[in-house]
Amino acid sequence: MARDFRHAENAKEFDEKVVQVTRVTKVVAGGKRMAFRVLAVVGDRNGKVGIGIAKAREVSAAIRKAVDQAKKGMVSIVRVGGTIPHEIIGKLGASSVLLKPAPSGHGVIAGGAVRVVLELAGIKDVVAKSIGSSAAINTSKATLNALENLKTLEYEKKVRNVEHINVKFVQQGEASVTA
């Protein structure tokens, strides 16, 4: 009876998704040199997420390098239940991503790379709108920028110098914050 060691290897601590695989070329003296660029997102679905971009001659090597880079650049994010604490806009280049908290059960209303980043970060209820350029690399980095800049409710209370902040949900997942 042989033991199955693959089960221990498959028990990964992070989920990883490949968002984009692109063929790129470099023009050299002898012609064109082909390679592949990969955008990968890694997260634990519990508040940690990272993005990696890598190039290699083979797709599998590029995926491995992108996942390693994403694991090295992981960031922790602030969550309140299954959503984000407040509305925020993340920007990178010509891409902007607007994130709004949503009530429980609403789901992730987003598309493309934004959805992948939010799901792997462990956010279950959010409304997102991508504004400007829809390039996968820029929108995923803009989403990560927005998630990094989220503040806790305790921090906002301290900054606003108030004792209580009311967060109530209005229709379609819009949240209004009053001091």
| Token representation of residue 176 | 């209004």
What's the number of CA atoms in the CB half-sphere (13 Å) around residue 110?
Answer: 29
Angle between helices 136-148 and 112-121 in degrees, nearest 10 = 40
- Burial string for 84-101 (b: 16+ CB within 10 Å, else e) reads bbbbbebbbeebbbbbbb
**Digit-coded pLDDT (tens) for 117-140:** 999 999 999 999 999 999 999 999
For residues 10 and 42, give the distance between their C-alpha atoms in angstroms, rounded to a whole number: 15
Which CATH code fits 77-178?
3.30.230.10
For residues 72 and 82, give the distance between their C-alpha atoms in angstroms, rounded to a whole number: 25
Q: What angle do CA 44, 48, 52 make, to 5 degrees?
A: 90
**Digit-coded pLDDT (tens) for 96-105:** 999 999 999 9
Q: What is the pLDDT of residue 86?
A: 86
pTM of the model: 0.81
Q: What is the pLDDT of residue 1?
A: 42
**114 or 156, higher pLDDT:** 114
| Token representation of residue 13 | 């601590």
Q: What share of the chain is helix, strand, coil (3-state, %, to 5)?
A: 30, 40, 30
For residues 72 and 145, give the distance between their C-alpha atoms in angstroms, rounded to a whole number: 16
| Domain boundaries along the sequence of the chain | 6-75, 77-178
Q: Is the pLDDT of residue 75 over 80?
A: yes
Q: What angle do CA 90, 92, 98 make, to 5 degrees?
A: 25
Which CATH code fits 6-75?
3.30.160.20
Q: What is the pLDDT of residue 157?
A: 76
